[in-house]
Structure 1
């Protein structure tokens, strides 16, 4: 029985009742994305009838925080510590000679346009895009596996643009060195992975210097089973669905974009490197994996950002929890709960949180009696515990996120922190409760 990658994930999600099935014929241009967006990209949907293709597509897999917890056997109380443990103590992978991914190998007459149901999501998108593809390269100096979710613009049957953004400095450095030496970078694009693989990909290589496949093994609690690609010297998961193999061409770029990006705006149009596809491996009856822009990758990225903010605040205040919010693109906004011990803890937490990443734009600090995942509760704290002249901290003209439109427009970002904690030892701010019935099970009454 499989215990890794997409088919294991689908089996678990179906048993938990999380998967919807769409058998109506759906156009991969716009219509498929509209169905996913209707559910805020939070509901896994299997599309079995895609116009022009026989291959099924799964979308919306990892756009819901609770689904991550269910798939990774964790909860909001322990997830930060489980992620920390995997970063601190990565485990070996298991190399095997063959696996299901090698059931079909294509080396001639490659045509990804006709082979795969690759969606077009927005009106002004420059092409169809592979949005859930996991780009894998080997660090030429350490031989460690580097992987990151990238978007891939479809240029032709065998050629795709590979977005190499400033958010991936380690990958950018590998590409830059290859261009200096005029040597192609062997790479693979993996589709059909599980939640642990996605989370492992979001851990910063430049910050931690880790082999992300080994982080996966630690997160999963079992060695990642990998096989060597058919045509490049790279290992990929033995139980994934599809692998595109090839190389990134040195000193060759194609205009990429526009593309409907983070926060619902179109991103910048720019030249980006291209990947020439030399071979394709796929399982029998493969399932194409799609992530409607821009939820799944960014939610997983936000989960790791929560770990990093928590770790930084831990040495400054008694931090209880961190929520890097979906509404803020899983990188621009954070709500932090602290166990306030001293007046000034709120301001200290603001400064430390904003210093954790140039991407973080606004942070709200609340007491531990506020549910940071309930926006009504957070708004309650803002409404009743904040005086703007005393509790709002503004830092002008700082570095910001290249994925945030107002920063791109200005080139700089103002940062804001709000201390929504209550004063210590003042009963005026005690919340009214109903003793013994705060967590009432309403199903018992109807």
Structure 2
């Protein structure tokens, strides 16, 4: 069976039926209705994938599309996309790193066998109002898609990235690009007076979408990386608009082809971001759509911004950060970024052997991603996922004048609402580990051997 969204939904229904709910009544995503359903579930601390079977287009008309929310709402759903069944962070992070290191070269698929070409809009048939664009938060500047954008460098490397896209008119979308690979490709094309061809993938196997959040090296082709993460080579076909110049995934649900236009800018936003805040309006870029095609009944994966799914979808970034920190300090045991109490904080658990290791691990993490500005390093007897334990270590193992280091003039994350400069920020490292160069009290605990061997049920019977 091909690795596609249908196969993942079947896996979810079979192995974790409580992780999937279906909404069969008609909903209007552009009127916040699908977002309101997911919001109501989250308010009850429920995070199942939500499949909306009947969704209306931008003008309120019925469509053949479906929308899937909360695909990444829990670690278990992410794990099932990667061939693992766990709800635990570290086994999942290790699995991501294992798979992302096993690149598989993509394969070509014959056009008649490509499910994504069941129907096609080109020329005058293109009308984005016929699609179910979504409004999520009340300050959104308009209806949005939250897709994967595929692009190709002049050297032939494929990039896969998550980018928000706002509806402008029936043939144009605005795109926001962080200063990474996609923006670099466009800058190079624009400097030469060229538009940049892209494909907008609105649905695929969740493992393909997760590739968009990996901190992949610049020399790695992300179509090959996606194959490794998915566990089988990615199937590709030539694009309708650009032919062999841009290959697109054959098992996708729905694809928009277009160009990021050189010399064109537009006002885009506000948009609810992973920070939990509505980001400001920005001067962004314009995409002109040249083709739309999809499966017979395509399912659009929509990321619910500002809420749990949005930050969980960043877990591949944490995997890359953990890898960098552990390379710098092998004593690193665990990290916690997703769930650290804030999207720009990282907590590192370290089996410290020498003084200075905490700072080395923290600096490696900060250098790995501009998402990180605050790092707390704790000993391996503190679970970084338990904020009560972290706060206990902070209160009892830290002297602010000695264990807190301020870092200035760092490149920040432009979505950080606390920035006073467009991108420059400051950082902080808190060493909440026990000192090794002087005596320090031990924790008051029951003997470890007894704790490990005790069966509580033996004492509580009757």
Fold shared by both chains (TM-score > 0.5): yes
Q: Please state how far the C-alpha of 1:151 moved relative to its aligned partner.
A: 0.8
Q: Please state how far the C-alpha of 1:278 moved relative to its aligned partner.
A: 1.5
Q: Which residue is equivalent to 1:34?
A: 36
Q: Which residue is equivalent to 1:416?
A: 428
Secondary structure of the residue aligned to 2:405 is strand
Q: Does the 8 Å CA contact 1:135/1:147 hold for their aligned counterparts?
A: yes
Q: Which residue is equivalent to 1:69?
A: 79
Distance 1:352 1:250, change over 3 A: closer
Secondary structure of the residue aligned to 2:186 is helix
Q: Does the 8 Å CA contact 2:358/2:431 hold for their aligned counterparts?
A: yes
Separation of aligned partners in 1, 2:226 and 2:420 = 34
Deviation per CA, 1:141-164, whole angstroms, max 9, x where unpaired? x21211211111101111111212
- Residue from 160, 163, 176 that aligns with 2:176: 163
- Residue from 339, 362, 372 that aligns with 1:350: 362
Q: Please state how far the C-alpha of 1:59 moved relative to its aligned partner.
A: 0.7
Residues 185-204 of structure 1: pairs in structure 2 closer than 5 A: 185-204=196-215
Distance 1:346 1:137, change over 3 A: closer
Q: Which residue is equivalent to 2:119?
A: 104
Residues 349-428 of structure 1: pairs in structure 2 closer than 5 A: 349-408=361-420, 412-424=424-436, 426=440, 428=442
- Residue from 137, 140, 148 that aligns with 1:134: 148
Q: Please state how far the C-alpha of 1:438 moved relative to its aligned partner.
A: 7.6
Q: Please state how far the C-alpha of 1:405 moved relative to its aligned partner.
A: 0.8
Distance 1:118 1:329, change over 3 A: farther
TM-score, normalisation: structure 1: 0.88
- Residue from 161, 183, 187 that aligns with 1:176: 187
Aligned length: 437
Distance 1:289 1:349, change over 3 A: closer
- Alignment of 1:20 with 2:21, yes or no, is yes
Q: Does the 8 Å CA contact 2:325/2:332 hold for their aligned counterparts?
A: no
Separation of aligned partners in 2, 1:89 and 1:72 = 13
Distance 1:25 1:303, change over 3 A: same
Q: Which residue is equivalent to 1:6?
A: 5
Q: Please state how far the C-alpha of 1:384 moved relative to its aligned partner.
A: 3.4
Separation of aligned partners in 1, 2:289 and 2:38 = 29
Q: Please state how far the C-alpha of 1:88 moved relative to its aligned partner.
A: 4.2
Separation of aligned partners in 1, 2:281 and 2:165 = 14
Question: Which consecutive unaligned segments of at least 5 residues does structure 2 have?
Answer: none
Q: Which residue is equivalent to 1:340?
A: 352
Distance 1:411 1:111, change over 3 A: closer
Residues 321-332 of structure 1: pairs in structure 2 closer than 5 A: 321-326=334-339, 330=343, 332=344
Secondary structure of the residue aligned to 1:407 is coil
Question: Which consecutive unaligned segments of at least 5 residues does structure 1 have?
Answer: none
Distance 1:83 1:438, change over 3 A: farther
